[in-house]
Amino acid sequence: MVLLRKLTGLPAKLRRLARSLTAAQASPDDAWAAGHLTAGEWRVYVGMDPRDREHALRVSRALLVACPTASPELLAAALLHDCGKQLRPYRVWERVAAGLVPGRLACHFPVGALWVRGQHPELGARLLRAAGARERVAELVFRHHAPGEDTEAALLHHHDNLE
């Protein structure tokens, strides 16, 4: 069952990978994002790789279509959920490797890009708190891969996985 789910997700994963090879291929709608972020959150957002911003925008818009009453904090968290990745920008081969290694395995790598992939929810939350972001936004970013009982974080996790 798990294998079947992985195989069905493979074409989307490969499309995402092809889109992510160079930053120049990305054109995120930053003006739309700006309308949903505080000044501190915006500073963190613009530090993100354009490909991660574009991904975050797709997640945010899909979430908003599925859940038009999403809270402003959930929407901001969707825009910022991968912001922790900016602490260690990927080289091309690392981006490919990070896309192929499951997150739960990536956190066992002690250093480098895969470590960042494994730790980025926690790193992102720290970055946001240091920038003065809304606490709930930082909390949702922290939980976006392991939402537990948090229904808003679960919604973000779900739409991130569909992307």
Measured CA angle at 97 (ends 93, 102), to 5 deg: 165
54 contributes a contact to Fe ion by CB under 5 A: no
Closest approach, Cβ 99 to Fe ion, in A, equals: 11
Cα distances (Å, whole numbers) of residue 80 to 12, 18, 85, 92, 97: 22, 22, 10, 22, 22
Q: Looking at this protein, which amino acid is placed at residue 148?
A: G
Q: Which CB sits closer to Fe ion, 39 or 56? A: 56
160 contributes a contact to Fe ion by CB under 5 A: yes
Q: Identify the residue among 82, 128, 134, 137 touching Fe ion (CB under 5 A).
A: 82
Closest approach, Cβ 124 to Fe ion, in A, equals: 8
Residue nearest to Fe ion (CB): 160
Q: Which CB sits closer to Fe ion, 103 or 132? A: 103
Burial of 124 (0-12, 13-18, 19+ CB in 10 A): buried
Binding residues for Fe ion, rule: CB under 5 A, are: 82, 160
